[in-house]
Amino acid sequence: MSYRLKEGGNILEITPQTAQNLDISRSQDGSIHIIHNNSSYRAENISVDSLHKTVSITLNGREYSFTIEDNLDQLIDKMGLSTVDNEVSKEVKAPMPGLILDIMVKPGQAVSQGDSLLILEAMKMENVIKAEADTIVAEVKLSKGDTVEKNQVILVFE
């Protein structure tokens, strides 16, 4: 298994072969002493955030923060799937033509992710449209009883 450490535009590849070339020992003061290619390094203040796959470390007195990519992360990147747009939309558009049965929010109202915003009836089914993220309603463009076409803007967020 190989790992890729990224810090800004710098990338460090760690493979089983490169790991074997490291001489690592723990000092009595709790720091880690590393010898690699006849160079000596002192690592301390190491913190790992496994949820976000990040490591912060002080190496020879300089602080570094790395993002760690394992084999799966590297495969996802190679397939071009890591560039998915995670930006939350500033609008709620009708996912299909239908009739607005209810609008549960008003301008200026704060909503949380998962809160119900409106009910849209389409093909004899009631669809509850929920908030994608915490935000504030800026404008309600339509009213209860209005018909909508697919992709018509219903709500606008700040």
Task: Determine the average pLDDT of the residues in 21-48.
Answer: 87
Structural domains present in the chain: 3-78 (no CATH), 91-157 (2.40.50.100)
Query: What's residue 55's pLDDT?
Result: 87
Lowest mean pLDDT across 4-13, 75-84, 103-112: 75-84
Q: For residue range 35-62, what is the model confidence (pLDDT) as tens digits?
A: 888 889 899 878 888 888 888 889 899 8
Instruction: Write down the pTM of the prediction.
Output: 0.48
Per DSSP, the residues of 11-80 read EEEE-HHHHHT-EEEE-TTS-EEEEETTEEEEEEEEEEETTTTEEEEEETTEEEEEEEE-HHHHHHHHTT
Give, for 129, the enclosing helix (H) or strand (E).
strand 125-130
DSSP letter, residue 114: T
Burial grade of 47 (CB within 10 A; 0-12, 13-18, 19 or more) = exposed
d(CA 41, CA 25): 11
Query: Do 118 and 105 form a contact (C-beta atoms < 8 A)?
Result: yes
| Phi-psi map region of 8: left, alpha, beta (phi>0 left; psi -120 to 50 alpha) | left
CA 95 to chain centre: 24
